[in-house]
Chains A and B, each alone.
Chain A
Amino acid sequence: MKVLVAVKRVIDYNVKVRVKADGTGVETANVKMSMNPFDEIAVEEAIRLKEAGVASEIVVVSMGVQQCQETIRTALAMGADRGILVQTDQVLEPLAIAKMLKVIVEREQPGLVILGKQAIDGDHSQTGQMLAALLGWAQGTFAYKLEPKDGGLEVTREIDGGLETVRLRTPAVITTDLRLNEPRFASLPNIMKAKKKPLDVVGPDDLGVDIAARVKVLKVVEPPKRQGGVKVADVAALVEKLKNEAKVI
């Protein structure tokens, strides 16, 4: 079974995000970029399926600017087999991404598509569900555990207050939650090897998808600043403040 994994290049989770002065978005120039952490989990899960003999080939897809090739190379260094970049400078909304992924899925015919549950830039948490809808496939979102079984897939999902297990018909779309696995680091030899793995670059036009924005971003601002508070002398003073000033205990 072929597995397709979608990865996104985002501002590294350790970078303090700065809102642009003109309110059009956040500053991405000269900022450290990395693979979306949930997508690393998606890549890792695909690799584990391959190591378990379930997956035969892992195709990694990314969409965005040319530098997304680096993100794909990271996935290839972790253990994916080949990459596809849909290169565009345009800002892509989840629906447009899902539509382009659908075309790629129809070409590649994977048995499983794994995505992160959300990207830590837009925080939409939409693409996987949208892709599943467009394909008419089952979806296993916020996956905690994945188990191929009886020709289908058993997915344990994170829900509010606990876990739920569902059986999905395959092919299916999975989105990863934090606890699914812990992604590996790519070793230096594997990073070198990844440079030779195939990476195709296509454009949105090649996929015949309309990627025009449906949702207009009117402005982006900083959240209200939190007032720095006071230092208290000791534990007794702290409890007194919490009880009588903040009134939260």
Chain B
Amino acid sequence: MSALVLVEHDNAALVAATLNAVTAAKQMDSDVHLLVAGSGCDAVAKAAAAVAGVSKVLVADAPAYGNALAEPLAALMAKVGRGYSHIVAAATKQGKNVLPRVAALLDVSAVTDIIAVESADTFVRPIYAGNAIATVQSGDAIKVVSVRSTAFEAAADSGGGASVEPAEAVADPGLSEFLGQDLTKSERPELTSARVVVSGGRGMGSGENFKLLEGIADRLNAAIGASRAAVDAGFVPNDYQVGQTGKVVAPDLYIAVGISGAIQHLAGMKESKVIVAINKDEEAPIFQVADYGLVADLFKAVPELEAELNKALG
């Protein structure tokens, strides 16, 4: 048997998370195939064939797959995936959109957002936003699994020599139509993939004061986030929200400014590698998870931090 991994791409290049999914798939089944579904996606098929450890690349090149709409893509994957032991994708928005649909079409369960592979049928996944870790065993003939990319090393994107074959054709169910895309053209990295995140809480006092964080964020090439309290207070829009009901982030460095550390916020950031907390209340729960805590008035500490960073980083 083999594992089939969905390649995520924009018809020109692979999305990096796919390489992490390949590593996870390798731990499920030694033989890994990739599925490239797109429109005019030759370059992606070539790149996929070069991924180390992959034996075969199946390519479905048709207009219906050009924008990775869930309905045609899931129909294709369910058909192509029938003979496989595992169907795997990165737990990106695209993977999360399409994989459960594939599972239901095959009448099997899905195991989403895994962080470890214990054996071919046993996986580890966070529940309750990472406040508990479950080990689960799938009894289904085909395991449909999505992979949290930060939990697995990336497979090498060169050195492989997979054969490339066309995938069997599947009719487009014609349920949906792509109208357009609006990608954030921010100078800042995206919250969930940023290496550094600077977040503000209710202690910021106003939306205007969030500008204070921009200096640090610019200096560190960081994304800016916020606690739910700051969002609920109307300081910043909801898409800034880090926490159980917002985004879950795990950057190398997380700087929490004026955030007390409510459970719901901690759930969204406690996997960060290094956590810094700046808060004037030394009893704030955020200090219990922070590697470096600074008890200080943020309105004084933040400008100082910006100046010190300028000094330290030249």
Chain A interfacial positions (CB closer than 8 Å to B) = 11, 13-17, 19, 26, 37-38, 93-95, 98, 120-134, 136-139, 141-142, 154, 158-169, 172, 178-179, 214-223, 226-232, 234-236, 238-243, 246, 248-249
Interface string of B246-284 (1 = CB under 8 A from A): 100000110000000011100000100111100000100
Stretch at the interface among B46-54, B69-77, B80-88, B159-167: B69-77
Residue of A nearest to B113 (CB): A123
CA distance A126 to B111 in the complex (A): 9
Supply 23 A–B pairs (Cβ within 8 Å), ascending by A.
A94-B109, A98-B104, A120-B244, A124-B100, A127-B100, A130-B100, A133-B103, A158-B239, A159-B93, A159-B181, A160-B92, A160-B192, A164-B178, A167-B177, A168-B176, A179-B239, A217-B136, A218-B137, A219-B134, A221-B133, A223-B133, A238-B276, A238-B305
- Contact yes or no, A37 B245, CB < 8 A: yes
Residue of A nearest to B111 (CB): A215
- Contact yes or no, B178 A216, CB < 8 A: no
CA distance A142 to B296 in the complex (A): 39
CA distance A243 to B313 in the complex (A): 9
Residue of B nearest to A248 (CB): B253
B157 → chain A closest CB, angstroms: 19
B269 → chain A closest CB, angstroms: 11
CA distance A142 to B70 in the complex (A): 12
- Contact yes or no, A232 B177, CB < 8 A: no
- Contact yes or no, A167 B176, CB < 8 A: yes
- Contact yes or no, A215 B139, CB < 8 A: yes
4 closest A-B pairs by CB: A229-B291, A162-B183, A133-B104, A138-B175
B176, B184, B263, B311: the one contacting A16 at CB < 8 Å is: B263
Chain B interfacial positions (CB closer than 8 Å to A) = 67, 69-71, 74, 92-94, 96-105, 107-113, 122, 125-140, 173-184, 190, 192-193, 196, 220, 237-239, 241, 244-246, 252-253, 262-264, 270, 273-276, 282, 287-296, 301, 304-305, 308-309, 311-313
CA distance A60 to B106 in the complex (A): 28
- Contact yes or no, B132 A26, CB < 8 A: yes
- Contact yes or no, B104 A129, CB < 8 A: yes
- Contact yes or no, A17 B131, CB < 8 A: yes
